[in-house]
Amino acid sequence: MTPIRGSRDETPDAASPSRDGSWLATSLSLLATGALLALLVAAFPRPDTAHAQSLVDPPDASSFARQAASEAPLGPPTCVASARQAAQIFPGSQAIAISLTVSCDRAGSLVAMPPGGDPTGAELDADGRFEGVLQRAYLCSGVGAAVSAVGAVVSAVVTDEGGHRWQRDVPLTGVLGAPDCDLLIRPGVTELDWERRSIAIADAFAADALGTASGSAADDSVLAQDHLSVWHLDEESGRWRAWGVGAPRLFRTIAALEPGKRYLIASATEFAWRFPDPPLVSAFEGAQIVSYYGHPNVPAMGMLGAGTPEEAADGVAELATRYDALNGDRGVIPALHLITGVAQALPGDDGLYHSRMENGQVREWVDLAREREQLIFLDVQIGLADPLGEVRALEDFLREPHVHLAMDAEFATHGRGKPGIVIGSLTRPTIDEVQAYLAGLVREERLPPKLLVLHQFVRYMLPDATEGYTDHPEVEVVIDMDGFGGPDAKLSKYNLFALSDYAERSAIKLFFLWDAPLISPERLQALESPPDLVIYQ
C-alpha cells in the first residue's frame, strides 16, 4: 500500500478552528463552491507508481527542446544527488524537512518530490548545482509503515534546455524524527491504496488508531469525523462515495475500507495513523456454505464434472437459495469444491500415484468463483506425495481471500499401500504443519481465516485427531462426514466425526447417485446442529 502525494496547498499559519462548528462550516462552504470536489477530481487519477513517474515535465520542457535542439548536448544530463533530513522544523507539524543536493554536468530545471509531500521546482545554477530544503515530507517510522523512514526516497527529475532528462529516486538518509505510524495523514488530500483486510471505516479511523490531531486546524478532538472526510470514486457508476465531516448526505455511502480500492483522505490537520488490524471474521460468521464437488469432465467424481464450470456455478447458486429459504437469519454462501490433486491407480513417472491439475485450469475455476462471489475449496487427494508439498503447490491460489483448502485422507496412503486399494490417513503432525502454513498466508496477506476441510468416514483416517489439533486463529478445521449410504447411518457418523471435539466446524457430503435416499435440505436444517458446510457430489 503506497500513499501517493496529495496536491492541496498547506496553510500552516491559519488560525485553528474551534469545535463550535467553524471547521464543519468551512468544509461545507468549500463543498458548496465545489472546491473540494474539484480538488478530488484533480488528485484522484494518478499512475499506479509511488515515485518519479508521477512527476510531470516542466511546462516549458518541450519548447526548450524545439528552440535549442541543434545546440543540445547529446544524451541525458549526468547528475549525482543526496537527500537527508534537514534541521528545519515545522511548528505544530510532525512532517520533516528534506535537504536535497543535486550536482549535474550542465544547467537545467529540477522537480523534486519528497515522500508524501508536494513537488518543489527550482533551477540549477550555471554550474549545474542545486542545494536547498524541499517541501514537507510525510514519513512514518513504524514497523510495516506504508512510507517508512527506512528506504524512503526523494523523486528527482532534471531536464536540460534540450529536453534531455535525468531521473532518479534518491535514497533518504539521516531520518530521526519521523513519527511512529503507518501513514502520516497530511493537511489537504492524501491518497490511499488500501491493501489490508476489509474494515469498518469507523473502526479504521477510531481515536485510538489516529492518535492526537496536530497542525493548524487541530483542537482537543481526536474524532476523525471532526477533522477529515474519506472519498472513493466508484468505477462502475462513476459516482463519488464519501464518509466523514463535510461529506454531503447524498455521498455518505462508504461503510468500510475494502482491499484493492483507492481512497482520498481530505483532512484539516495531521494525524499519525496506525492501521488497526480488522478482526478475523470467518466465512461461517452468520452463514452456512453449500458446495458442489467434483473434477472437470469426470461426472462420476461429482457435480463439477457434469457440465461446464458456468453450469456448476449456476447450479450451486440455485441450490443455495433452497437452503437460504430454510435458514432464517442465517445466510447461505454457494461454493465450488474442486479436486485439484487426484489419486491414481498407476504410480506414474514419479511413483507417487498422484497427478495435479494444470494451474491454468485451476485458475479458470478460481476466477469464476470470484466473479460469481462464491467460495472455492481446492481439494488434494495426495496419494504417496508429500501433503505439505501438494498444498504449497496451490499457494498462488490460497493467497486469495475466497480460496480454501480440503485434504482427503482416504487417498493419502503413504506407507499403507496403493490409493483405491487401502484407505489412507493423515496424522496430527501433518495437519498441524499444514495449518501453520495456512496461518502464515493469512497473516502475510491479511486474509479472512482459511477453512481446512478434512474428509473422514472411519476413525483411522484421522487416527490421532482426538488428541486435538493445534489452535490457529487463522485456520478453522472442518470435519466432513464423507461416506455414502442411508440417512440414519450417515447422520450417526455425522454426529461421531463432524460434531466431535476436534472439529471446529461441521460438514457432511451428500451423494446424488449413491445415497439411498438422499437426505433433504429440510431434514438437515431441522437437526439440532445443522452442518456448517454441505457438500454435494
Residue 170 has pLDDT above 70, yes or no: yes
Give the 3-state secondary structure of residue 118.
Answer: coil
Q: How far is CA 446 from the centre of its chain?
A: 6
Q: Quick one: pLDDT at residue 232?
A: 95
Q: Is the pLDDT of residue 275 over 50?
A: yes
pTM for this prediction: 0.60
C-alpha cell at 338: 474442486
Q: Which positions ≥6 away from 532 have C-beta within 8 Å?
A: 284, 288, 289, 478, 505, 506, 507
Q: With bands split at pLDDT 50, 70 and 90, how would you rate the model's confidence at 148?
A: low
Please report which confidence band the pLDDT of residue 149 belongs to, taking 50, 70 and 90 as the band edges: low
What kind of architecture, by CATH, is found in domain 52-173? Sandwich (2.60)
CATH of 290-536, one of 3.40.50, 3.30.70, 1.10.287, 3.20.20: 3.20.20
331's grid cell: 445466510
CA separation for the pair 51, 2 (Å, rounded)? 10
Beta bridge partners of 478: 453, 505
Q: Would the CA dihedral through 504, 509, 515, 517 be positive or negative?
A: positive
- Mean pLDDT score, 442-463: 93
pLDDT of residue 461: 95
The residue to which cell 480538488 is assigned = 39
375 vs 245 pLDDT, higher one: 375
Q: At 228, list the grid cell.
A: 477529515
CB 355 within 8 A of CB 398: no
Mean pLDDT of 356-363: 94
Q: Which of 52, 169, 63, 64 is nearest to 107 (CA)?
A: 64
How would you classify the pairing of strands 228-233 and 199-200?
unpaired
| Greatest mean pLDDT among 5-9, 29-33, 189-193 | 189-193
Question: Do 454 and 464 meet the contact criterion of CB atoms below 8 Å apart?
Answer: no
Which set of grid coordinates corresponds to residue 441? Answer: 498466508
Distance (Å, whole) CA 325 – CA 318: 11
- The stretch 441-459 carries a mean pLDDT of 93
The strand order across the sheet containing 165-173 reads 120-123, 109-113, 153-159, 165-173, 79-85, 98-104, 129-133
Query: In the prediction, which pLDDT does 235 show?
Result: 86
Q: What angle do CA 379, 380, 383 make, to 5 degrees?
A: 155
More confidently predicted of 64 and 153: 153
Instruction: State the pLDDT at residue 112.
Output: 96
DSSP 35: H
d(CA 57, CA 111): 8
Contact 213, 227 (CB under 8 A): yes
Local confidence band at 19 (pLDDT 50, 70, 90 cut-offs): very low
Angle, to 10 degrees, between the axis of helix 35-43 and the axis of helix 22-33? 70
Domain range summary for the chain, segments of one domain joined by +: 22-47+181-273, 52-173, 290-536
CA torsion sign for 125, 127, 130, 131 is: negative
Angle between helix 309-324 and 359-371 (nearest 10): 40
Question: What pLDDT, on a 0 to 100 scale, did the predictor assign at position 8?
Answer: 35
CB proximity list for 345: less than 8 A, separation 6 or greater: 353, 418, 419, 420
3-state secondary structure 270-328: EEEECCCCCCCCCCCCCEEEEEEEEECCEHHHCHHHCCCHHHHHHHHHHHHHHHHCCCC
pLDDT at 73: 52
| Amino acid code (one letter) for 406 | A
For 91, the grid coordinates are 511548528
Neighbours of 144 (CB within 10 A): 10
- pLDDT surpasses 70 at 267: yes
Smallest CA-to-CA distance from 86 within 197, 175, 164, 3 is with 175
Neighbouring C-beta atoms of residue 355, cutoff 10 Å: 17
* pLDDT surpassing 80 at residue 408: yes
